[in-house]
Structure 1
């Protein structure tokens, strides 16, 4: 049975994982870096040239990512193993990326995996190393974002 402190640690780690996605989607690189240890490493398993280390590089890198346009990340599943003041996790998620978000423009949908090493720094769980891996991707077309002009047909209640 897992003790209450370990459960709380797992919840705190999951909260940071959610905040990381939120700050990425809100285009707040100055807050994204708060999810990382001061000397953290962010690297890509699928793009060897992608490697950022430390808050300054992380903030600059995530600021450049905002040029991709609007995004919405979602955590699908996450496995967390806590061992005292360190932890490891694996996270699967998706990202919808819409560039300028104009009708007819491309929308990319990606499946992602993150392998993370966590530490407690200044009393908070933070990512010490994150390995980002793009698992799959497809492209579709953005349609108009307004509600349809005609209401949908009414749905009869089940009896």
Structure 2
């Protein structure tokens, strides 16, 4: 698995480093867009968009819990809203490696999870942001002409909490 990180991008051929076919470029862009749509659908609780991002056989791994399938995955946005007032997932670095109708990739993300807490016997509310530095280890597959997640493993690199200071009005 460690070697996946050091392969050339799908944009470059192995021999010359030149750009591959326009189809490869379009495939890589479509796969990169998956992570952005994933973040926005999760943050907006858009279950319809969220569901369309995953294959029927999705394997979703997070932490030490058992891998989850599609039935559990479609409930994740709703579960997030039960725990947090708001979330904001910011996708940063991405690498994609194409192999026909399959691909692998690694995605970095900074995720902010906003929730309310209280000072002094529940009398003074304030907001906190539970932040995660996340690395996704992904497998993608082309189904019915579109790219979807076949496997997504969430690796939390670090977590921290910040108090949110209200903006001046």
Cα root mean square deviation, aligned: 1.8
Please give the alpha-carbon distance, in whole angstroms, between the structure 1 residues aligned to 2:72 and 2:137: 20
CA distance in 2, matches of 1:52, 1:145: 39
The one of 86, 95, 101 equivalent to 1:85 is 101
Does structure 1 retain, via aligned residues, the 8 Å contact 2:135–2:155?
yes
Unpaired runs of at least 5, structure 1 = 148-159
Supply the distance in 2 between the matched residues of 1:65 and 1:74 (Cα, whole angstroms). 16
The equivalences for 1:23-102 within 5 A come to 23-44=41-62, 47-54=63-70, 56-69=71-84, 70-100=86-116
Are the equivalent residues in 1 in contact too, given 2:116–2:126 (CA < 8 A)?
no
- TM-score scaled by structure 1? 0.83
- Structure 1 residues 62 and 50, CA gap change in structure 2 (3 angstroms): farther
8 Å contact kept, 1:114–1:133: yes
Structure 2 residue matching 1:57: 3-state secondary structure:
helix
Deviation, 1:101, is 9.1
Structure 1 equivalent of residue 127 of structure 2: 105
Helix, strand or coil at the partner of 1:71: strand
Match of 1:139 among 161, 166, 169: 161
Contact 2:58 2:149 (C-alpha < 8 Å) held by counterparts = yes
Q: Who is 2:11 aligned against?
A: none
Q: 1:73 to 1:50 in 2, by over 3 A?
A: farther
Q: Deviations over 1:87-128 (max 9, x none)?
A: 000001101111249962211121000000000111110000
Q: Hey, what's the Cα distance between the residues in 2 that align with 1:101 and 1:146?
A: 20
Structure 2 gaps of 5+ residues are 1-17, 119-124
